[in-house]
Amino acid sequence: MTLLVFGSTGQVARELALVAPNARFVGRNEADLADPAACARLIRDARPDAVINAAAWTAVDLAEAQEAAARVVNGEAPGLMAQACAELGAPFVHISTDYVFSGDGEAAWREDDATAPINAYGRSKRLGEEQVLRRGGRCAILRSSWVFSRFGANFVRTMLRAGEGRPALRVVNDQIGGPTPASAVARACLDLAARLREPAPRTGLYHLAGAPDVSWAGFASAIFEAAAMECEVVGVPSSDWPRPARRPSNSRLDCDRIRRHLGVQRPDWRSALGPIVAHLRTDDA
């Protein structure tokens, strides 16, 4: 399978490079999602067997001030990419987020639940979902949450740096979700791309998030334990950490559909955390 991946430096793209080294990875210098037509043109010229979009505007707070630009990258570009794939009959896998939901309640969000994003980033990602789905074709959207890995900037690396040499650290404890290893997202994207080539492809929306669900404070405690760092985590409400973009309180995702359709289980983030922490501690030393 000739695979074309948009994104080359992000967490999922770098994990994809480890498991699909023969894929063609397209960076911003070759096709910038800020120019959606160029991305669609590249697909038509390359004529790949499948496309995975692992590129996005991920600066959540900055999107509040630059929502129009975020909507182009996260909304319009995936739509035109999906259109190009539909014309070629090529599978298109697009990565989305739990931020398309309101974050109300405590129940895990299902794929068919109503969306109601509470920030500009979430609105831009929901636009992308709508644009991809309306193009038809062999497309799948994978929503994930709280992605972490040994690559790039993420919560694990931030906590390791912030907790170094400190007796205690205040971390939000009223936002709940499933930390998800980027490696699991990468493997699920490859699985979806392969399944979408079958005669009766299972298109549409899928959720994948790590288990068990936990607060950011609980996740931070597990990080420090894995790193053998003596830094106490003090749980605080989100109101103690005001930010330009509101964050959803409930980021739980129901992942039963991907289990039933593809046999993909929720990854245990605790088993993935130790090796990642060890790598980051060595890498940042």
Q: Which amino acid is at 21?
A: P
Strand positions, DSSP E, 165-217:
168-172, 176-177, 180-181, 204-207, 214-215
Residue 237 near residue 174 (C-beta atoms within 8 A) = yes
Cα–Cα distance between 269 and 271 in angstroms, integer? 6
CA 7 to chain centre: 12
Angle in degrees, CA 175, 180, 186, rounded to 5: 145
How far is the C-alpha of 173 from the C-alpha of 198, rounded, in Å? 43
Say if strands 214-215 and 176-177 run parallel, antiparallel, or are unpaired.
antiparallel
Instruction: Report the amino acid identity of residue 178.
Output: G
Alpha-carbon Rg for the chain in angstroms:
18
Strand partners, 148: 181
Angstrom distance (rounded) from CA 90 to CA 13: 19
Residues 6+ positions from 254 with CB-CB distance below 8 Å? 108, 109, 110, 111, 207
Which residues are identified as catalytic? 121
Q: CA–CA separation, 185 vs 250, rounded Å?
A: 20
Cα(42)–Cα(116) distance, integer angstroms: 33
The helix (run of H) or strand (run of E) holding residue 67 is helix 67-71
